[in-house]
């Protein structure tokens, strides 16, 4: 355990810090500020088998830290490789994260206890870069390379290497937030990622789906003009209430207020407070059947305070300033009218990307904007 300021937790070996079955337990707990966790080897379940002898607990738990660097560690056989929920201005860089049966890197909007209390800061400005993340495969289960939950803000996901022995890669990244960037990641060694699914009609639109970690992807053909460009997770969770962002924390709360979500979609959530202020909200049920253009109202009751307010987000649209380069192996048409999300280009009509060219898109103000062609 390392708690405090200006700490260096470097060069340690932590093995079997768990129960007698080597399944539950933690490696390094580092809730600190202005500190470094560098060059450690942290192993949970030495008898790990994803089907018969799974792993749980945290490899490096830095939740609630400020200005922490977690780098060059070897972390294997835990439920969570690295936890940086509730952290600010921190780096997870150059780690080797292997066989974590939950998430390789977990980022929640706050670090909290079950009673509605939390650390003093919501998550912001986290860089996750140059890590090697191996994701175990178990039939009937889904584990994630990086999981961002509950609207955590300011997350940069750059130059990581994701390794899978099978699967389409949709579990490399799931980002339930509207504020993150993606750049230069590799999927099984490839920077130009082929589309695992050809365009298909989803909700009435000819839809091209791209891998969430990708910024460059290949598209071989499309029977008709592309009307929708969505990440693989966005197409799956389009009708869910994926996260709620606090827009005003209010004041005077002595206990966590109840979160009220209007409508009949079935979503539910829990609020967390610090210093009388609502700092974050965790979803407990995502519900279904919601429409992105009409998100339900969110209100708070109880807790002894007033003034808290929040906004619900339906679906998983790309974050503002998301960039995507599509390499067209054959001529591909991209519609301009009748698109969702809207696809804008300088012609204000359907455009054709010739075979062997690429087209770059930039997402801002709720729309994809065609920037350029390149041979």
Q: What are phi and psi of 109, to 5 degrees?
A: -70, -25
Q: Which of 187, 222, 249 is the last residue of a domain?
A: 187
The angle formed by the CA atoms of residues 123, 314 and 183, to the nearest 5 degrees, is 55
pLDDT band, residue 165 (cuts 50/70/90): confident
In a shared domain, residues 260 and 349:
no
Length of the chain: 375
In a shared domain, residues 150 and 161:
yes
In a shared domain, residues 245 and 332:
no
pLDDT at position 283 over 50? yes
Tokens encoding 134: 């191996």
In a shared domain, residues 79 and 13:
yes
In a shared domain, residues 217 and 93:
no
Helix (DSSP H) and strand (DSSP E) numbers for the chain: 1, 38
pLDDT at position 368 over 90? yes
With residue 163 as reference, give the H or E element that holds it.
strand 161-163
In a shared domain, residues 139 and 57:
yes
In a shared domain, residues 230 and 142:
no
Range of the domain at 329: 194-237+317-374
Percent of the chain with pLDDT over 90: 69
Residue of 43, 38, 35, 30 whose CA lies nearest to 3:
30
In a shared domain, residues 344 and 229:
yes
DSSP 8-state symbol, 232: H
Mean pLDDT for the stretch of residues 247-259: 96
In a shared domain, residues 347 and 246:
no
Q: Which of 187, 204, 224 is the last residue of a domain?
A: 187
pLDDT band, residue 22 (cuts 50/70/90): very low
| Spatial contact of 255 and 276, defined as CB atoms under 8 Å apart | no
Q: What is the pLDDT of residues 108-152, one digit of tens each?
A: 999 987 667 788 889 999 999 999 999 988 777 788 999 999 999
Q: What is the pLDDT of residues 49-108, one digit of tens each?
A: 656 655 667 899 999 999 999 999 999 877 889 999 999 999 999 999 998 878 899 999
Q: What is the pLDDT of residues 180-197, one digit of tens each?
A: 999 999 999 887 776 656
**CA distance linking residue 364 with residue 367, whole number of Å:** 6
Say how many domains are in the chain: 3
| Spatial contact of 81 and 128, defined as CB atoms under 8 Å apart | no
In a shared domain, residues 336 and 323:
yes
Mean pLDDT for the stretch of residues 173-177: 96
With residue 233 as reference, give the H or E element that holds it.
helix 232-236
In a shared domain, residues 212 and 70:
no
**CA distance linking residue 41 with residue 24, whole number of Å:** 17
**CA distance linking residue 13 with residue 225, whole number of Å:** 55
pLDDT at position 167 over 90? no
pLDDT at position 262 over 70? yes
HSE value, Cβ hemisphere, 13 Å, CA-based, for 232? 19
Contacts for 52 with CB less than 8 Å, ≥ 6 apart: none
pLDDT band, residue 203 (cuts 50/70/90): confident
Report the CATH number at residue 40: 2.160.20.10
> Which pLDDT does position 2 carry in this prediction?
64
Q: Mean of the per-residue pLDDT values for the chain?
A: 89
Q: Which of 270, 286, 314 is the last residue of a domain?
A: 314
The angle formed by the CA atoms of residues 183, 184 and 190, to the nearest 5 degrees, is 140
In a shared domain, residues 210 and 281:
no
Q: What is the pTM of this model?
A: 0.92
Q: What are phi and psi of 232, to 5 degrees?
A: -65, -40
């Amino acid at each position: 355990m390392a708690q405090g300021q200006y700490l260096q937790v470097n060069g340690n070996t932590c093995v079997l810090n768990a129960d007698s079955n080597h399944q539950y337990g933690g490696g390094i707990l580092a809730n600190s500020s202005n500190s470094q966790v560098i060059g450690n080897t942290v192993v949970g379940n030495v008898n790990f088998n994803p089907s018969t002898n799974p792993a749980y607990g945290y490899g490096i738990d830095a939740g609630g830290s400020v200005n922490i660097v977690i780098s060059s560690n070897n972390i294997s056989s835990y439920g969570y490789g690295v936890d940086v929920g509730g952290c600010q201005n921190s780096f997870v860089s150059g780690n080797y994260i292997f066989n974590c049966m939950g998430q390789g890197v977990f980022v929640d909007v706050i670090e909290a206890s079950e009673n509605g209390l939390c650390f003093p800061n919501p998550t912001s400005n986290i860089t996750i870069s140059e890590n090697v993340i191996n994701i175990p495969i178990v039939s009937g289960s889904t584990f994630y390379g990086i999981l961002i939950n509950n609207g955590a803000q300011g997350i940069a996901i750059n130059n990581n290497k994701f390794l899978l022995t099978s699967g389409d890669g949709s579990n490399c990244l799931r980002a339930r937030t509207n504020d993150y960037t993606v750049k230069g990641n590799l999927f099984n060694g490839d920077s130009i990622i082929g589309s695992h699914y050809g365009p298909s009609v989803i909700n009435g639109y000819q839809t091209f789906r791209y891998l969430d970690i990708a910024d460059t992807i290949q598209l071989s053909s499309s029977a008709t003009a592309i009307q929708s460009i969505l990440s693989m997770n966005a197409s799956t969770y389009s009708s869910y209430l994926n996260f709620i962002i606090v827009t005003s924390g209010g004041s005077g709360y002595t206990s966590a207020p109840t979160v009220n979500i209007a409508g009949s979609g079935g979503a539910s959530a829990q609020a967390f407070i610090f210093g009388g202020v609502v700092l974050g909200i965790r979803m407990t049920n995502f519900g279904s059947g919601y429409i992105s253009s009409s998100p339900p109202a969110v209100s708070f009751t109880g807790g002894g305070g007033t003034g808290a307010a929040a906004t619900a987000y339906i679906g998983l649209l790309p974050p503002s300033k998301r960039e995507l380069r599509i390499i067209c192996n054959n001529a591909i048409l991209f519609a301009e009218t009748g698109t969702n999300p809207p696809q804008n280009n300088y012609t204000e009509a359907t455009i054709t990307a010739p075979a062997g060219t690429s087209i770059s898109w930039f997402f801002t103000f709720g729309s994809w904007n065609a920037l350029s062609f390149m041979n």
